[in-house]
Amino acid sequence: MTRLPVLMYHNFCAEAEASKGLTLAASRFEQQLMYLRSKGYQSFFLSELAALPQLPRRSVVLTFDDVTVSQWEFAVPLLIKYGFKAVFFVPFAYLGTTDAWNASLGAGAHPIMTAAQLRALDPNVIELAHHSFAHPRMATLSLEAIQQDFDQAQQVIVAEQLPVFPALAYPYGNYPRQHPAQTHFFTLLQKNGIAFGFRIGNRVSRFPWSHPYVIPRIDVKGEDHLLRFRWKLRWGRLRLW
């Protein structure tokens, strides 16, 4: 099996001093991409992974939650510059508004791309996937409510003619952990044609994935200097104990 780090990004900024939490300075992101390229890493779309039995030794998946405008402004040009592709997870209810769900956490509002901006993204660079409709905590919802969320997302996808791969990044990394609720949830994902489900976990995954609905991602934070990024890329967690 091949080590496959799945990196998770959120917001971006121009100023290094504002790089903290879920917001990463563009200069730090550029350092990370330069490092990946210098070490021969190859990035993949999820649609490509669905058709591949094995991967090159140095492979990576770059994922971005919430499709904030700052990703359009800072991340996309750098991905193009260094020749990497990425997956953008879309919260469909919030297109053209802000990440209002973060208001309760005391975070500043970040503008979210419009459907027109998503359609304008180069499909050779960016692949779209699901981040739910309303950005709920999945473990708190009934199966009926989760299905309604899927249905509402699908309505937006069809109405806006968005090319969306059937993979889901769980909002907050939250999904049912206990049985039988987890089994019912995974069955619902399968019913809706979801190929992959992503949690957080901060571990390096192994491909092919043994369970397609509990794939771990590594949370890249604004405070992560290059050495810390390299450590996360190798080990996932900052501490191994």
Do 59 and 41 touch, CB atoms closer than 8 A?
yes
User: Structure tokens of 223?
Assistant: 């405070």
End-to-end CA distance of the chain: 24
pLDDT tens digits for range 126-148: 999 999 999 999 999 999 999 99
CA distance 90 to 169: 9
Q: Among 141, 169, 142, which Cα is nearest to 6's?
A: 169
Note the pTM of the prediction, 2 decimals. 0.96
pLDDT tens digits for range 162-207: 999 999 999 999 999 999 999 999 999 999 999 999 999 999 999 9
DSSP per position, 51-88: T-S---SSEEEEEEES-BHHIIIIIHHHHHHHT--EEE
